[in-house]
Structure 1
Amino acid sequence: MNGVGAAVEDRAELSERLWAAVIAKDESAAVREVFAAADEGAGRESLLLDVLGGVQRRVGMEWAADRISVAEEHAATAIIDRVIAALAHRVPAPVGSASRPRITVACVDGEWHVLPARLLAEVLTGRGWQVDFLGAHTTTPHLITHLHATNPVATLLSASLPLHLPSAHTAVTAVQSIGIPVMVGGAAFGEDGRYARLIGADAWAPDARAAAGLLADGLISPEPVTRQQVDDLPHLADQEYTLIKGNRSALVRQSLARLDERWPGMRAYTEAQRERTAEDLAHIVDFLATALYVDDTELFTGFILWSAEILQARRVPPHSLRTGLDILGEELHDFPRALGFLEAAGAALPATPTTRTSTGPGKTA
């Protein structure tokens, strides 16, 4: 086997051992595996992105397939985060390597999925950048205060959930208003970066290596460019986004009451099951509002189809989502764009029920 093939095989074996340690909640074993690989010559960046990042992606897929619980997913993510920190100290960036200017890396307001940004910060540090990593859920006022104090050459913002696109838009506009260019990244911005362009970011990167490459090539220009203001999205003039977002609690409450009428079995739900159903409705409303903000039917339909897969993995018929969509449509009969999104998502759902049974939507446990 050639050197490249052997390296790939070794990395796959390491990933399997690391996965076993993480899922067993054995943090010490996870750290030992990564340290041993580093001592044997594995590159710092490959360990971060290919091994630790790969295991984290597997954690998410296993949760989606209902093979691990939410608690197990949280525990695994916490272990991976601590292994990243341990690796940063065990294999630090070379002394004196910080020859490049200062940049800021942060998650947008409301975004708690911090690992993608954390990995990016470590990669950039390893490539010689002076990195201020602000972590999860960085509010825009706190971000601007920091930027005024440090004056970085660029700000890199991360968002994993599309729900945070409005907050990302606010942050991008605010940072650009003080003359600092902004690169964005993360699953929230779409596989092709379409939402990054919509909100007027200076650049978008699909992953940490691409982001580092754009910075190194000088493709983030500090020169002033035409900025997209938050109120420059013409479709927002109909106020559907604002009204639905502002009435979210009432909309969820009214929809839950209608579900009570249509699913008699809900009367036997435990309090926890009712709360779960309300949470499911709230997520649907939140994604609908976000889709209205960016005016993209595909964003909402994609969320509904993903939700159907999650429900099916948890033995809830995906067609039960249709009832929730129908009820929301009745509540939002005066909102034409929202109705169009709801109808498109409903049409994309499976046409016939699965053979599995359920007492109603949201009753997954």
Structure 2
Amino acid sequence: MVATAVQDRYWDRVVHNDGAGARAIVDTVLTDGTPLDGILTGLVGDAQRRVGSLWAADEWTVAREHAATAVNEQVVQHLRRRIRSWRDDAAVRAARGTPPLLVVCAEREWHALPALMLTARLESEGYAVAYLGADVSTLALQRAIADHEPRVTLVSASLSSSLVFVRRHVETATASGVPVVVGGAAFDPAGLRARRIGATAQALDPADVGSLLATLPRRVPAVPPLRTDAAREAFALLAAVGPHTDAVTQRVARRGGPGTTAVLDQVPHVLGALAAALLTDDASIVSETRTWLDAVGDARRCERSTLAEVWAAVTEQVADYPLGRRMLADAA
């Protein structure tokens, strides 16, 4: 555990974009004997939750959120360097002689910190890890699998709108026989979404990944294609997110008023979440997204009539997707 006073000092450095100061605090608590997990969860994780809460409450701008996140990322990279300095030559050679773990984010998933924290944790446990970072395209994943021949691909997704892209990573990795472990806030605790997209396994907690790896098969068959009507709607909707977003924006933007721009900025996520709900046959994704968007609007004093207009415009845009339209209606 990390003392509250230390958490507050670390948070103060994050707030002031002081990467050097944040790293100094981490070095001190490491010297005092705090385990890596305590730092990742008690300092970095705690600070990042505060960052997200402040953005959600409209107390911080996106730019300030990104700056604070960058400090946390600098700290985790610093921890990775410290981890490498702790490992002796024999451990390094042993790790190099085994297939690495490949850690990636889904395409268009920019929340890389959870994957980076997982990478640090796995490296501290002695694993060789190839970390690709945020927004990893299918082509980049194909190349990485060919280059690294990984034991497993671990895919991180924080947003439900990333789930269709996670499915593409599952298809890519399993086509080469590589197991896929998924995790992150985009997934439900029961594992429904992970199963529906064909993942080999789901990690509910980063601390469980090490033990989970031991249970995975060495090779897996390629996942079969998804040919349901819902899957076809999901892929078609995702391909048309740009035009649909433009149409929703044109209809709603003229209303003006506080919070309207911020709400409209989330329309691509809303459409992507609907695609994910279709792909996984999980209508709760739509309900969660509606509740979340309403909270974003309320925090920014967006009029409820404007929020209603956004949902009406989204519904209009999915007129050609009968299953998607039904999901929106059920969540209204």
TM over 0.5: yes
Q: 1:164-220: CA deviations, max 9, x gaps?
A: 2122111112211212111111112223332111111111102211112212xx111
Shift of 1:77: 0.5
Structure 1 window deviating more from structure 2 (303-312 vs 135-144): it is 135-144
Match of residue 44 from structure 2: 52
**Residue 235 (str. 1) matches residue 229 (str. 2):** yes
Shift of 1:36: 0.8
The alignment's TM-score, normalised by the length of structure 1, stands at 0.81
Q: 1:277-296: CA deviations, max 9, x gaps?
A: 64343333232223222222
Match of residue 247 from structure 1: 240
Would you identify which runs of 4 or more consecutive aligned residues in structure 1 move more than 6 Å?
A: none
Shift of 1:114: 0.9
Q: What secondary structure sits across from 1:184 in the alignment?
A: strand
Instruction: Choose 1 or 2 for highest CA Rg.
Output: 1
Shift of 1:247: 3.4
Q: Residues 122-271 of structure 1: matches in 2 within 5 Å?
A: 122-215=120-213, 218-225=214-221, 227-229=222-224, 231-236=225-230, 239-259=232-252, 265-266=255-256
Match of residue 279 from structure 1: 265
Match of residue 314 from structure 1: 300
Distance in 2 separating the partners of 1:193 and 1:233: 21
Q: Residues 58-137 of structure 1: matches in 2 within 5 Å?
A: 58-92=50-84, 93-95=86-88, 96-98=90-92, 99=94, 101=98, 102-137=100-135
Verify the 8 A CA contact 1:35 1:90 in the aligned structure 2.
no
**Residue 302 (str. 1) matches residue 288 (str. 2):** yes
Distance in 2 separating the partners of 1:55 and 1:65: 15
Q: Structure 1 residues 242, 177: closer, same or farther in 2, change over 3 A?
A: closer
Distance in 2 separating the partners of 1:76 and 1:129: 29
Higher relative CO (CA 8 A, sep ≥ 6), structure 1 or 2? 2
Q: 1:220-261: CA deviations, max 9, x gaps?
A: 111435x432x3252336x4334433433333333344436x
Shift of 1:37: 0.7
Shift of 1:336: 2.3
Q: Structure 1 residues 220, 255: closer, same or farther in 2, change over 3 A?
A: same
Shift of 1:149: 2.4
Verify the 8 A CA contact 2:160 2:272 in the aligned structure 1.
no
Count of aligned positions: 326
1:42 corresponds to which of 19, 27, 34: 34
Q: Structure 1 residues 250, 130: closer, same or farther in 2, change over 3 A?
A: closer
Distance in 1 separating the partners of 2:154 and 2:252: 43
Shift of 1:276: 4.8
The alignment's TM-score, normalised by the length of structure 2, stands at 0.88
Match of residue 30 from structure 1: 22
Q: Structure 1 residues 53, 316: closer, same or farther in 2, change over 3 A?
A: same
Shift of 1:306: 0.7
Shift of 1:90: 3.4
Q: Which runs of 5+ in 2 are unaligned?
A: none
Q: Residues 322-333 of structure 1: matches in 2 within 5 Å?
A: 322-333=308-319
Q: Structure 1 residues 28, 337: closer, same or farther in 2, change over 3 A?
A: same
Q: Structure 1 residues 318, 108: closer, same or farther in 2, change over 3 A?
A: same
Shift of 1:103: 1.6
1:293 corresponds to which of 279, 285, 288: 279
Q: What secondary structure sits across from 2:107 in the alignment?
A: coil
Query: Among the aligned pairs, what percent are the same residue?
Result: 29
Give the residue type in structure 2 aligned to 1:306: W
Distance in 2 separating the partners of 1:83 and 1:186: 20
Q: What secondary structure sits across from 1:189 in the alignment?
A: coil
Verify the 8 A CA contact 2:260 2:306 in the aligned structure 1.
no
Q: What secondary structure sits across from 2:109 in the alignment?
A: coil
Verify the 8 A CA contact 2:123 2:129 in the aligned structure 1.
yes
Shift of 1:18: 0.5
- Over aligned residues, Cα RMSD in angstroms? 2.5
Q: Structure 1 residues 77, 240: closer, same or farther in 2, change over 3 A?
A: same
Q: Which runs of 5+ in 1 are unaligned?
A: 1-7, 347-365
Verify the 8 A CA contact 2:155 2:183 in the aligned structure 1.
yes
Verify the 8 A CA contact 1:183 1:220 in the aligned structure 2.
no
